[in-house]
Structure 1
């Protein structure tokens, strides 16, 4: 059995604030106790940031919850010692522990919507902790809540104090949760994947905010993540976990310079690095490092899958999609969400066009509108020269064999009551592309092509990992031999090593079948790796589009530069640098009924590289708008 690795204490840290010694955690399952965390040890010093790193299932979040004693007592067993300022938290009576939570030790959870009460205002939820731990009255607590919201850069904090959580965006909700955690000025902040589900610009804002608040308050931070780029930016020391054990620990810069454990090297090699494609003319697969041996497998280059001069598989022109906003007693239309406005692009066989932008920019709505999963208001979508938007229901059902979609959440897009074999075979049978025997044979072949085995066909979705479920969704999309696949954030929720494997698979299948990919993502580093061309969307419009090398190497539009500046760089030498990212959220796309969109002007800055002319809203104060 591997021995536990204890993170060494930095020389600058004399007495650790938090000492975790030989931590074990077990859960009762089917009447038996199953240990999932095995003898983990680490320390966190005052003013220090320690990153707990690992993929899903490694035990990092379970360890953090054990430190806070948040596991249900009847169904869990926690062993070892957790010393906070010399006191063993595991031995404290529950009232004493309750007094520490939210006061001296605070926690920021991964999903802010589930950690905020939807029926209570954010002002009440922040003030509650102040009244409980600091003994403030209601008025004083609300005044402090306004100050905290100002500190985490919530615009118009006083006017939003009595808003409910659903009135805020994801980035704003995460700031509210941070304000709640910091309300009582804790000595230790445990941040559990606080930026994983956020766009790159919002993630950069949250990381800068945590750095700034840590400097001001002098608190220690235990940061839990699987993103090695984030680790490089914020962590003094790093503890790497795998299968419930700490396999490597040490100074972050030293681990990035020369990791010893094969699993750590595998994690680092799987991190997509922005700028790594300089000089490359076509997409490249990720190198794969064995987590057990450390052996590096560098896949050979892929053949050029794009044939110049051929008619594009997909031609989109003037695509417009709007959603009515109703209000009042009779539900009268009061306005429209201009989700997609006048979008045009082409996509050839064997080509990948990436649509990038923040949440709310319209990229997912564009993909769904192309497939008519959402009905557009105007425009044309030509698939092999035929306008999909003019087809009747029967004809559209027939054409859908040539265009398929891979969704972001594979578990939600698979029927939990249907075996994966039946899920893959279903489109073959519904479209009468073969007999049941032929469907079974094709299902077995597809499972092998996506790196699974034919005997897995009888299993159900819950019996697979997230990466395996995404492979199943890819197999299902390939079942009808499509020409076009819309991949909507298809790797965003995956761990880094699994993400690398799935991206490699998609590139291999593209080379084999000549697939056209509309790749929708906010992960700029992955986009750089997989795309031939890139289109940047903002408020439903394409603001810049061109070859991948041109857009990444010479971004023209201020919004494109803002996205690229926000990408975390996996280089500890840049730790402490602040992102030059605006704290503003993406603007509201709701317009009045009589709103007429302006006619946009585009200029070609290099062959195939076009950029939308922008106005004063993108200009620094004191400069004129670009023509």
Structure 2
């Protein structure tokens, strides 16, 4: 450990918010240092105060409704005492921040290239040409394919994972002395998460950059942090070297956080999805044991049949906007989903798994193929038929903030589909809303609040409650637990498993979290560049992966072991191929072989 003066020194940091005319304390007496080149992790769950701590350090809270006390020293200057003009020169230059939700941080009316270049022009005095070249290099470094051609694209043209990579490139553009990373890899797939963690490590070595890493993922903490601070309900409950925290953690909450982390390989010997251990919200200790879900009866007839599904998006260019190519997002995908079954679609951002889910519901129009859902020929339905069909299937979207109306209370948002489909009276809708809020771990009186009053994890639970309002037969869960902290992730997954048991629900579970997929799935389909390259029973795929891409996904899963901090994955940027194809391109005919009953892998 270096003995030089810390880059950041925080003393007795306390933050309060003005609520109903009274000051409510949310962070109390936080004190810590971050040395040059050091990574300090603040770990805790939604509502623990870790994100408020980071926003307080950067003075990004509304002055009228927040009060920040204490001392935040950055290279000898107290940030809390600086005039706002000087603070603006600090943000994005000496200190950069990566936020949790990229779509709320990127300006939708400017291209991503312009937004990154602006940082370089403003803080590094580069010319526009220099800034463009450096921006393309940064985009390539965070593994965005065709970086030069995507410079002029807008945030909505990127997947959730790719938007987060743009945010990371922007934060690293000015080579800051301190990087505050607030859940920067939460929504990323495991291979990209590994790349980003490696990238941060490399930049630290090159620049001596310090990192304050805020997360709920103990696997990530183990891989990146020199020291760890554990927060629980606004208080710092334990701090120390990461190895000490992991191997000899003293506080019950620290031990509970570690015990709740899903570990790849923990399902060996289990034939059925298994419930997670859940943490008690008050004490932070495990509240109930693991319980095997073994009573779901799978039907013989699939509730969802997908045959040769193809979805392509045209690429237009030139003065007359003529089509010059296409994004082959989904290419010849076929699978069945049975009542009472969970089929997981796994793969990296941009592999086509979310587009597959949206194509099935015709939220995007497929190019070809057949989809039969609960007796409906989905491809032939008109507007009225689609509305009726969507009573049977509901979707939980990846980004809860963009899928909730900011002007509508969450209670209204949850009960709206119930009322629109005329399933009961207004009173019954309110009763159902209260029940659903309780089921997803929130309280009924929260129905009167608006989306911005909730944390990211709480907003995702609200989105899940809304999806359950119509009692659907099939739920397409698109990264529905990716942004949740460990205990809430466990609660939501257990809720989905319990609902599956009691209502015989079918889940199309779209995820990049291999450890969660292993625990909740009956079958697993691995997608790469729009195609299913391996599909089979969960145990067969995880115990005996055959395709190189499946093996790559599994090897990239973070492991909660601090001894792995020196590991570099060294995955080449060239390995991430693009689904963009020229006009007239015909995909090659694929061949498959059966490894074991129901376990099929693509050859070549």
Q: TM bucket by the smaller chain? A: 0.7 to 0.9
Alpha-carbon spacing, 1:82–1:452, altered in 2? closer, same or farther (3 Å): closer
The residue aligned with 1:3 is none
The partner residue of 1:521 within 500, 507, 511 is 511
**Are the aligned partners of 1:565 and 1:579 in contact in 2 as well (CA < 8 Å)?**
no
Distance in structure 2 (CA, Å) of the matches to 1:454 and 1:72:
28
Distance in 2 between the 1:333 and 1:524 partners? 37
Please say if residues 119 and 174 of structure 2, whose CA atoms lie closer than 8 Å, have aligned partners that are also in contact. no
Asked if structure 1 preserves the Cα contact closer than 8 Å seen for 2:142 and 2:196, the reply is no
Cα deviation 1:226-280 (Å, max 9, x = unaligned): 2221111011110112333212111111111232223323322332222221221
Cα gap change, 1:313 to 1:129, in 2 (>3 Å): same
| Structure number with larger C-alpha Rg | 1
Matched, 1:177 2:177: no
For 1:197, the equivalent position in structure 2 comes to 187
Aligned to 1:612: 602
Matched, 1:316 2:294: no
164-173 or 198-207, which deviates more? 164-173
Correspondence 1:301 to 2:292: yes
Q: Distance in 1 between matches of 2:210 and 2:415?
A: 53
Matched, 1:126 2:113: no
* 2:541 maps to 1:551: yes
Shift of residue 318, structure 1, vs aligned partner: 0.7
Measured on the aligned residues, the alpha-carbon RMSD in Å equals 3.6
Distance 1:538 1:600 in 2: 13
Question: How far, CA to CA, are the matches of 1:85 and 1:423 in structure 2?
Answer: 47
Q: 2:69 aligns with which of 61, 79, 84?
A: 79
CA drift of 1:315 comes to 1.5
Is structure 2 residue 235 aligned with structure 1 residue 251?
no
Change (3 A) 1:337 1:142: closer
Contact (CA 8 Å) 1:467, 1:502: kept in 2 or not?
no
Q: Is residue 378 of structure 1 aligned with residue 368 of structure 2?
A: yes
Pair 30,343 (structure 1): closer, same or farther in 2 beyond 3 Å: same
Check conservation: 2:139, 2:166, Cα contact below 8 A. Answer: no
Rounded Cα–Cα distance in structure 2 between residues aligned with 1:241 and 1:548: 35
Instruction: Output the CA distance in 1 between the equivalents of 2:346 and 2:593.
Output: 20
Q: How does 1:214-363 map to 2 (within 5 A)?
A: 214-296=204-286, 297-307=288-298, 310-363=300-353
Pairs within 5 Å for 1:46-57: 46-57=36-47
Q: Is the 8 A contact 2:146 2:578 kept in 1?
A: no
More displaced stretch, 526-535 vs 433-442? 433-442
Cα distance in 2 for partners of 1:214, 1:364 equals 34
Which residues of structure 2 form unaligned runs of 5+?
A: none
C-alpha contact (below 8 Å) 1:123/1:162 kept by paired residues: no
- Cα-to-partner distance string for 1:210-231 (whole Å, 9 max, x where unaligned): 1122123333322222222111
- Asked if structure 2 preserves the Cα contact closer than 8 Å seen for 1:50 and 1:238, the reply is yes
With 320-329 and 563-572 compared, the bigger mean Cα shift is at 320-329
TM-score, L = length of structure 2: 0.86
Number of aligned residue pairs: 595
Aligned counterparts of 1:450 and 1:190: Cα–Cα separation in 2 = 30
Name the residue aligned to 1:622. none
Looking at structure 1, the residues matched to 86 and 422 of structure 2 have their Cα atoms a distance apart, in angstroms, of 66
Retained in 1: the 8 A contact 2:96–2:171? no
TM-score between both structures, scaled by the size of structure 1: 0.83
CA distance in 1: counterparts of 2:505 and 2:144, whole angstroms = 45
Q: Distance in 1 between matches of 2:248 and 2:232?
A: 18
Give how far 1:180 is off.
1.5
Q: Tell me the residue number matched to 2:478.
A: 488
- SS of equivalent to 2:390: helix
SS at match of 2:302: coil
Residues in 2 aligned to 1:472 and 1:573: alpha-carbon distance in whole angstroms: 38
The Cα shift of 1:430 comes to: 4.2
Question: Quick check: 2:16–2:24 contact (8 Å CA) kept in 1?
Answer: yes
Contact 1:360 1:586 in 2 (8 A): no
Q: Verify the 8 A CA contact 2:44 2:232 in the aligned structure 1.
A: yes
The C-alpha deviation readout for 1:423-464, integer Å capped at 9, x for no partner, is: 555444544545556656655555555555666666665565
Aligned partner of 2:587 among 597, 608, 615? 597
Query: For residues 165 and 457 of structure 1, do their structure 2 counterparts lie closer, same or farther at Cα, with a shift above 3 Å needed?
Result: closer
Preserved contact between residue 191 and residue 556 of structure 2 (Cα < 8 Å): yes
Change (3 A) 1:33 1:483: closer
Unmatched runs of 5 consecutive residues or more in structure 1: 1-9, 132-136, 615-627
Asked if structure 2 preserves the Cα contact closer than 8 Å seen for 1:318 and 1:378, the reply is: yes
1 CA distance for matches of 2:336 and 2:93? Answer: 55
